[in-house]
Structure 1
Amino acid sequence: MTSASDTPRRPRRPSWAGRNYSLLTLAAFLTSGGSQAALIASAFAVLGAGGDGGDVGLVAAARTVPLVLFLLIGGAVADRLPRHRVMVAANALNCLSQGVFAVLVLTGSPQLWQMMLLTALGGTGQAFFSPAAEGMLLSSVEGEHAGRAFAVFRMAMQGAALGGAAAGGALVAAVGPGWVLAADAVAFALAGALRSFLDVRHIPPRAPGGGILADLREGWREFVSRPWLWGIVAQFSVANAVVGAADAVYGPLVARDHLGGAGPWGLALGFFGAGTVAGALLMTRFKPRRLLLAGTLCVFPLALPSAALAVPVPLGVLCAVMFTTGVTLEVFGVSWMTALHQEIPEEKLSRVSAYDWFGSVALVPVAMAMAGPAESAFGRTASLWGCAALVVAVTAAVLCVPDVRRLRRRTKTVAAGGAEGSADAERPVGRHG
């Protein structure tokens, strides 16, 4: 008879969820929820201070501009310095900027320039944080469980973002935007504290080399040497820009004129968020062999929301479209992270991630600024159909890149002699050395 003490204890977490991975996931959960609520709070803080829709746009743009300007430098710094220190410093800057923003809102009427400056500081922090965080996450998992680990991470992050967005409006109405901004500052402080405990001993120290410009050139060579990498980043430069314009500019207008206002549009966005959570859950089990082919095929539905708004379809159909789009987009997201983890050398992860981030956000402000003139010139319906057509066109174009179709997931097998080998006999796409 076996006693209770002899019974093996079930591990509290999967074997692939190591210490670093668990800390990163918990920290991302905290900041994702807080940041989504803070986006709503900052908009209402601007309106509460007497601003209008244009002022809300200026504050939002103030965050995007330094993000674009400093991303590449942030990637080089993150590959030069210990990544966890870069992340903690960025979290401290975000905590400080949101904390001061909260104090200004709670104690009086903040000036527009003050809100823009504080938001710009937050964007600067994100520019340094994002490449370091992605590099740290990609280096925190290994082997065949990487795809599942990335899926669980994204599920936690997307779930927190969905909850933060849902709670943001209610909290602003209940306690005011200042307290929501203060809660976001606390979330950044807690996340920074968690990230300070990350263990980076497994990451080999960088050998002395050139300066920041040399690091950027080396990262650029790594980036352009892989057609699948720069091809998909170019694809998303266009796709993110037009989808962002459709969601931020045209979506609320269509909701006002045809769906019943802000409430139905918020519901549709909530279905998109629920779809991303469901997609991440799906990817804990689904392991496509051809990573980028499967992921890229799942980008085509990204054109559906713009097409649905162009018709426009009833709210129930729009919610179904948004949910489906969220699911398929997460299939791409997890496949993309798995490909980066598999193909990019560890010491260059942050710089490559910086070029990825830069390409993904660089055209968003341009598309936002052009959305209004495009509507005046071509009409809202034609502009939305144009957004859908561009997504389809750039996605079809990137499928013409052979490496996008050919890159395969690699798994480890144990050979007869006991050594590890690759189950995939093909040469890794784009790997040099």
Structure 2
Amino acid sequence: MRSFSFLRLWIGSTASGLATWALSFVLGLAVLEGTLSAVDLGLALAARTVGFLLAVSVGGVLADRSGRRNVVLYASLAGGIGISIITVGVAFASTYALLAVSLGAMIAGVGQGACRPAYQALVPLIVSIENLQSANAAMSVSVRVTNLVGPAAATALALMAGLSVALCAILALWMISAIVPSWPNENSRQSSKAVSGLSLATFFSDLAEGVDEARRHPWFLAGLGALTAVIAAGYSVTGVLVPIISRDLYGGAILLTGSATGYTLGALFGAIIVSRWRPTNAGWWALGGLGLYCLVPLSLLIQAHVAVPILAFVLAGLGIELFNVPWFTATQREIAPDKLARVSSLDFLLSYGLAPAGLALIAPAANVFGYNAVLAISGAICLLAPLAACVVPSCRTLRT
């Protein structure tokens, strides 16, 4: 954080994260005010997810092709344009409000999706290799603080000043993301590959190069498979079943609020720990941390005192950062620099792209097989997937 260039990058990344998290809550308040219906909200959030998934791979290709900082600039401007369209749709509610909000949410999702791999690939251009892990820990701290502050700040601002003011604040965050990060010296190959030379054929060719680069690193494929399984199974339980269990078993929102807070605080503590800790077998420790998420569905299965699942969420949050920070550091260190953004985009596309499928399947599966069976299977997946990845030899050190 003493590096001014990295501090600027950190501020920009934090601003984009705040804008991302705040939007869902502001749109939720629009439902409470009657500006949008619950169906409208669902369609808008779905449109944002579609925009994210469409843009994440395109953003990776463009970042490697024309420069990561350029992509951060234009993706952030796209996020701001999307928020502006939503603001108009909310302020002038009419028969076209849903269309405006959905279109704006999709464009904002495009900005979010394109930003992720570009920010990830900018870190090694600004930070020396020996400081990568500390830098990634600082970026993770940013994410966790954003998780705590973003929703509360957006909700408070919307309640005090109105939805339009809150949306304008989100727009300002996207402008910070566009302007504040420093412009590193990117290599000549990136600078020379102009966007004007990108066609559908060259896009898929560039994307295939990223896939080939990922396949050169067995630890990356194994770790990504484990992460995808944990997100699709474990995160789906968190998103779908925890609110139901909190209501039916604990008689209110105590588990719902406690789990979210506990997970974020655990992750914040984990990021602080791993900023300095350099274990010998970093990959095994990272995958072990990822496997701690199995405690979440298993703690819900035993139906113990509410403190037990909340503690499980704290440990799961700590474990996810024991995985995330070494994982991002290894990716930045091992992947070819001119393909880093594309490989990072594959990471985000697979790990988060399959999450909606898990969310869609958990509730029907619980209705057919029962909550206990779904929780047990989810816990087994979260435990066995990281263990299976440990079998790959290069996963021990996250080095090719």
Paired residue for 1:125?
Answer: 111
Q: Cα 1:267–1:175, aligned 2, differ >3 Å: closer, same or farther?
A: farther
| Structure 1: runs of 5+ lacking an equivalent | 1-12, 408-428
Are the structure 2 counterparts of residues 365 and 160 from structure 1 closer, same or farther at C-alpha, using a change threshold of 3 Å?
closer
Give 1:404 shift: 0.4
Give the TM-score normalised by structure 1: 0.84
2:381 partner letter: L
- Looking at structure 2, the residues matched to 255 and 57 of structure 1 have their Cα atoms a distance apart, in angstroms, of 22
8 A contact 1:299–1:332 mirrored in 2: yes
Is 1:62–2:62 an aligned residue pair?
no
Q: 1:362 to 1:307 in 2, by over 3 A?
A: same
Task: Name the CA shift for 1:172/1:316 in 2 (closer, same or farther; >3 Å).
Answer: farther
Partners in 1 of 2:248 and 2:161 — Cα distance? Answer: 30
User: Which residue pairs with 1:313 in the alignment?
Assistant: 304
2:239 paired with 1:239: no
Q: What's the offset of the Cα at 1:51?
A: 5.3
The CA distance in 1 between the partners of 2:150 and 2:302, in whole Å, is 30
**Which residue is 1:186 aligned to?**
172
The count of aligned residue pairs is 392
Shift of 1:132: 1.2
Aligned to 2:146: 160
**Structural RMSD (CA):** 2.2
> Per-residue CA shift, 1:120-146, capped at 9, x if unaligned?
111112222111111112322123222
Secondary structure, aligned partner of 1:28: helix
| Maintained 8 Å contact 2:90/2:101 | no
Mapped contact 1:47–1:56 kept (Cα < 8 A): no
> 2:68 aligned with 1:83, yes or no?
yes
Q: Is the 8 A contact 1:90 1:125 kept in 2?
A: yes
Quick one: which of 127, 145, 149 aligns to 2:131? 145
Q: Per the alignment, do residues 22 and 365 of structure 1 end up closer, same or farther by CA in structure 2, a change over 3 Å counting?
A: same
Q: What are the Cα deviations for residues 35-94 of structure 1, in whole angstroms up to 9, with x where unaligned? A: 322221122324534655554333222222232233222211110012111111111111
* Inter-partner Cα distance in structure 2 for 1:143 and 1:180: 39
Q: Distance in 1 between matches of 2:152 and 2:292?
A: 24
C-alpha separation in 2, matches of 1:223 and 1:293: 20
Aligned residue identity for 1:284 = S
Number of the residue aligned with 2:358: 367
Q: Once the 2 structures are TM-superposed, how far is the Cα of residue 269 of structure 1 from its aligned partner?
A: 0.2
Select which of 269, 285, 302 maps to 1:278.
269
**TM-score of the superposed pair, with normalisation by structure 2:** 0.91
What is the alpha-carbon distance in structure 1 between the residues aligned to residue 99 and residue 362 of structure 2?
A: 25
Closer, same or farther: CA 172–266 of 1 in aligned 2, 3 Å: farther
Write out per-residue CA displacement over residues 165-199 of structure 1, whole angstroms, 9 at most, x where no aligned residue: 3334444444444432221111111221113xx22
1:412 aligned partner: none
Shift of 1:401: 0.9
For residue 189 of structure 2, the aligned residue among 180, 205, 221 is: 205
Identity %: 26
**CA separation of 1:258 and 1:56: change in aligned 2, threshold 3 A:** farther
Which residue of 1 is the match for residue 393 of structure 2?
Answer: 402
Asked if 2 retains the 8 angstrom alpha-carbon contact of 1:291 and 1:336, the reply is no
| Distance of aligned partners of 1:265 and 1:194 in 2 relative to their CA distance in 1, 3 Å threshold | same
Q: Secondary structure at the match of 1:199?
A: coil
2:126 partner SS: coil
Q: Is the 8 A contact 1:71 1:131 kept in 2?
A: yes
Distance 2:42 2:252 in 1: 20
What CA deviation, in whole Å up to 9, does each residue of 1:270-291 have, x standing for no partner?
Answer: 1211111111111122112222
Partner-residue secondary structure (3-state), 1:298: helix
SS of structure 2 residue aligned to 1:286: coil
Match of 2:211 in 1: 220
| C-alpha contact (below 8 Å) 2:89/2:98 kept by paired residues | no
